[in-house]
Amino acid sequence: VSLESELAEVVGAVHVVVDPTMTASYEVDWTRRFSGRCRAVVRPDSTEQVVGVLAACRRHGACVVVQGGNTGLVGGATPAGGEVLLSTTRLRELGPVDEIAGQVTVGAGVTLAAVQAHVRPHGFDVGVDLGSRDSATVGGMVATNAGGERVLRYGPMRAQTLGLEAVLSSGDVLAHMGGLPKENTGYDWVGLLTGSEGTLAVLTAVRLRLVPAPAGRAVALLGFDDTRSAMRALSDLRRAVPDLTAAEGFYAAGLAMVRAHTGLGDPLPGGHAVYLLVERTEPAAAVDPAEPLLAALADADVGAAVVVSEGAACRALWRYREAHAEAISADGIPVKLDVAVPVAVLADFVEGLAPTVQQVAPGARVIVFGHLAEGNLHVNVLDAGDNAVAVTDAVLRSVVARGGSISAEHGVGRAKVEWLGLSRTPAELAAMAAVKRALDPTWMLGPGVLLRPAGTPTRRHGGAKPPRGETLGP
Ligand SMILES: Cc1cc2nc3c(=O)[nH]c(=O)nc-3n(C[C@H](O)[C@H](O)[C@H](O)COP(=O)(O)OP(=O)(O)OC[C@H]3O[C@@H](n4cnc5c(N)ncnc54)[C@H](O)[C@@H]3O)c2cc1C
């Protein structure tokens, strides 16, 4: 019996897709940098069906790539060639909101926007928010430990996840969904599987911690002449307004692209080199959410500022920041590098970026934006031509030389697998490979993502020393 027939037995023939015109949208990622053909797309709608799909793949020796909303930016959900693509988008269950505990259980394929719409009428919200909220799934967000716009206040996805259900490649189901905030009974599956990028298990359901929905919101957009002044002002603001929910940054070049793409007007008179967007939310309806911001800004050294607290006006200011990814993609296929550097050296790093990139890719354009409070910058390089690998190498080495990380929130995926050894020691890589072998002994899930199987030749790039730790296989 063929694999396709066995899969059809499990999920129904209509949910095993092999027609190339129908599989095409699953086979290319959001950035269009990564693509690969899969053997079939299979769409289970329950944990039992996921168990059945993995059993059939195991019997036929087929590898599996897990895909949620396909908004990941490092190619982790894109097949390399010949895998079965397991789409989680039919795992759509929305459990009742537990108002006493402030928790909810949802299927891994539920989008962030659907969870937000589900919990907000109960006075709750999800602590993580992303520009990709309409497509990104909760399973994908846990698998990548998504960060986003409110990490400053609520932490990344790991901090929102109290329990999960996951299917191992053996077919065993790990389910620990009690939602107890305190529970020390040994190894923690949330800690282990958050950020595992589809390489250790298929997440099928998640128990989420919820945060109170705010009664009001205020957003300020501030303009500066340079990054150093913006970072100093942010440090002052964080002390004066300790409950800031977001602190985002972007630059004149990115703003110009956003304005050209969206038709939006100039957000601040005068034109500035650097923009800082900060947000504060207020739990009490009777209190003006903007007031602490206005008081702090009266004392701050800020060139220009606009502060708004009406819903549509807040969303309009956020649009300048959130439209960056789509505006850049509309201009070309960028090399996207999501990195973190210590905030104390962020300004130095940004100043050195264009020269670093242009040394290996003359004429390339660098557009930077990101989550400034965590030192998390999204470095986008357009017009890198054939020099994408050299650009990646130069930028990531410059990050690591300053004590940073090669991935802040998007993960490693296929994009950075060769550079993982820059951020992890050989002992850490060996322990990661041991965990992989223990939970997925035949390397069936996400081959080529995050860890590279043994025997794959090491690619040398730009004459630089190859990164450490590239032969980690079963
Ligand atoms: C416009 C835009 C804005 C974005 N903003 C942010 C941001 O601010 N912060 C941020 O962190 N990210 C951001 N992202 C990236 C992306 O949205 C996140 O990485 C998100 O968590 C991916 O979710 P997904 O469901 O689309 O996962 P996919 O892209 O489908 O998959 C991502 C990875 O998770 C694995 N995976 C998916 N589902 C499962 C599952 N159920 N079980 C096991 N593994 C699974 C895949 O195999 C893959 O390795 C943005 C993306 C876009 C396009």
Given a cut of 90, whether residue 217 has pLDDT beyond it is: yes
pLDDT of res. 232: 95
Q: Is the CB of 202 under 6 A from ligand 1?
A: yes
Rounded Cα distance between 212 and 114, Å, is 17
CB of 145 sitting under 6 A from ligand 1: no
Ligand 1 centre and the CA of 262: distance in Å?
A: 24
> What is the number of the ligand 1 atom nearest to the C-alpha of 71?
26
Question: Packing angle between helix 291-299 and helix 227-240, nearest 10 degrees?
Answer: 130
Q: Are 40 and 4 in contact (CB under 8 A)?
A: yes
Which pLDDT value is given to residue 301? 77
171 vs 47: CA distance, rounded Å: 10
Taking only the tens place, the pLDDT of each residue in 154-196 is 999 999 999 999 999 999 999 999 999 999 999 999 999 999 9
Instruction: Assign 299 a pLDDT band (cuts: 50, 70, 90).
Output: confident
* 141 CB near ligand 1 (under 6 Å): yes
pLDDT at residue 1, rounded to an integer:
93
Q: Ligand 1 in contact with 107 (CB < 6 A)? A: no
For residue 20, the model assigns a pLDDT of: 96
Residue 373 has pLDDT above 80, yes or no: yes
Tell me, what's the pLDDT at 465? 41
Q: How far does residue 368's CA lie from ligand 1's centre (Å)?
A: 20
Q: 123 CA to middle of ligand 1, Å?
A: 26
Tens of pLDDT, residue by residue over 233-250, are: 999 999 999 999 999 999
| Whether the predicted pLDDT of 287 surpasses 90 | no
Residue 300: predicted pLDDT:
79
* Most informative mutation of 29, 54, 64, 73 for ligand 1 (most atoms within 8 A of CB): 73
Q: Does the Cβ of 197 fall within 6 Å of ligand 1?
A: yes
| Confidence bin at 454 (pLDDT 50/70/90) | low
> If pLDDT is split at 50, 70 and 90, which confidence band does 284 have?
confident
Dihedral-angle region of residue 293 (phi above 0 means left; psi in -120 to 50 means alpha; beta otherwise):
alpha
Q: What pLDDT does 462 receive?
A: 35
Q: Is the pLDDT of residue 19 over 60?
A: yes
C-beta 325 within 6 A of ligand 1: yes
- Residue 472: pLDDT band with limits 50, 70, 90: very low
Between residues 284 and 247, which one has the greater pLDDT?
Answer: 247
Summarised one tens digit per residue, pLDDT across range 262-277 is 999 999 988 899 999 9
Give the integer Cα–Cα distance in Å for 455 and 461: 18
Mean pLDDT for the stretch of residues 16-25? 97
CB of 147 closer than 6 A to ligand 1? yes
- The pLDDT of 332-357, averaged and rounded, is 96
d(CA 399, CA 425): 16
Q: What is the 3-state secondary structure (H, E, C) of the chain?
A: CCHHHHHHHHHCHHHEECCHHHHHHHCECCCCCCECCCCEEECCCCHHHHHHHHHHHHHHCCCEEEECCCCCCCCCCCCCCCCEEEECCCCCCECCCECCCCEEEEECCCEHHHHHHHHHHHCEEECCCCCCCCCCEHHHHHHCCCCCCCHHHHCCHHHHEEEEEEECCCCCEEEECCCCCCCCCCCCHHHHHCCCCCCCCEEEEEEEEEEECCCEEEEEEEEECCHHHHHHHHHHHHHHCCCEEEEEEEEHHHHHHHHHHHCCCCCCCCCCCEEEEEEEEECCCCCCCCHHHHHHHHHCCCCEEEEECCHHHHHHHHHHHHCHHHHHHHHCCCEEEEEECCHHHHHHHHHHHHHHHHHHCCCCEEEEEEEHHHCEEEEEEECCHHHHHHHHHHHHHHHHHCCCECCCCCCCCCCCHHHHHHHCCHHHHHHHHHHHHHHCCCCCECCCCCCCCCCCCCCCCCCCCCCCCCCCCC
Task: Evaluate: CB of 156 within 6 angstroms of ligand 1.
Answer: no
Q: Using alpha carbons, select from 350, 352, 345 the residue that is nearest to residue 404.
A: 345
Q: Which two tokens stand for residue 109?
A: 């394929």
Q: Whose CA is nearest to atom 15 of ligand 1?
A: 72
Could you tell me the pLDDT band of residue 67, with boundaries at 50, 70 and 90? very high
CB of 416 closer than 6 angstroms to any ligand 1 atom: no
Task: Report the C-alpha gap between 376 and 320 in whole angstroms.
Answer: 18
Q: Model confidence over 353-371: pLDDT tens digits?
A: 999 999 999 999 999 999 9
In this structure, of 277-286, 312-321, 369-378, 432-441, the range with the lowest mean pLDDT score is 277-286
Give the distance (Å) from ligand 1 centre to CA of residue 168: 20
Ligand 1 atom closest to Cα of residue 198: 44
Q: What is the mean pLDDT of the chain?
A: 93
pLDDT at 32 over 60: yes
At 429, list the tokens.
Answer: 């890589």
Ligand 1 centre distance from Cα of residue 73 (Å): 7
Question: Hey, whose CA ends up nearest to atom 38 of ligand 1?
Answer: 140
- Residues 382 and 308: their CA atoms lie apart, in Å, by 33
Task: Tell how far the Cα of 409 is from the centroid of ligand 1, in angstroms.
Answer: 10
CB crowding 285-296: b at 16 or more within 10 Å, else e: eeeebbebbeeb
What pLDDT does residue 144 have? 98
What does the alpha-carbon distance between residue 369 and residue 155 come to, in Å, rounded to a whole number? 19
- Percent pLDDT > 90 in the chain is 90
Ligand 1 neighbour 340 (Cβ under 6 A): no
323 C-beta closer than 6 A to ligand 1: no
Does residue 26 have its Cβ closer than 6 Å to ligand 1? Answer: no
473 pLDDT above the threshold of 90? no
pLDDT of residue 466: 38
- Residue 135 alpha carbon, nearest atom of ligand 1: 26
Ligand 1 within 6 A of CB of 71: yes
Q: What are phi and psi of 118, to 5 degrees?
A: -75, -40
